[in-house]
Amino acid sequence: MSIVNKIPNYMFIYNTIAHLTFAIVNNTLLYGLNYHIFLIVGHLFIALTQFLLYMSSIGFQLLSATLTGCIGHTFLFIYASYTIYKYGKHTSSILFLIGQIGMIYFYLHHNGDNIHEHPIFVTTFLTLIAFYLYEYVISTSYIKYPTLMVAFVYIIFAYHYAKFKLNDPKNRQFLQGDAV
């Protein structure tokens, strides 16, 4: 079973609003910077993905959230790669890049029940939480507020994923050392 089935559907509306707000505010601040289009389009695709997850949670399947999620995080991966190429290897840029790789993996494998995927997902969520909280703290413009909203998206995912995995009897046995 997927983690997305364990998250209350109203949270997908929050996630949609957070990513959409982030894209809109970045569009107004970064107007004219060509490579920032990857950041904006990536967050628009992720907003679409979250909306699709909401729609599927209430019984409407429009498009593949796996596909749109991978496309969105690929755009963000391209943005992070170019930022590292252009400005150098900063810790925050590397965290963001690693987070995008993890999210692409998440969208491709979030339906698995394999306990060994758990550390990858949690590490991805924690990496993105650290990145967005760091960006929130250092930001001096109004972009800090949508940045904090996106940080909460990953806090929500981390919380629900940990809760989902810890409530699975198979995983409780594994975590307690009772598994073979």
Q: What are phi and psi of 120, to 5 degrees?
A: -65, -45
DSSP 8-state class, residue 9: H
Question: pLDDT at position 92, please?
Answer: 87
Query: Residue 104: which residues within 8 A CB-CB, separation 6 or more?
Result: 70, 73, 74, 77
Question: pLDDT at position 18, please?
Answer: 95
In the chain, domain spans = 3-176
CB neighbours of residue 94 within 10 Å: 15
pTM as predicted:
0.83
Q: What are phi and psi of 63, to 5 degrees?
A: -135, 175
Question: pLDDT at position 56, please?
Answer: 81
Question: In which residue ranges of the chain is pLDDT below 70?
Answer: 1-5, 28-33, 61-62, 111-118, 164-180
CA distances from 141 to 17, 26, 74, 97, 135 (A): 19, 11, 26, 23, 11
Question: pLDDT at position 1, please?
Answer: 52
Q: Which tokens hold the place of 40?
A: 């904006």
CA atoms within 13 A on the CB side of 137: 7
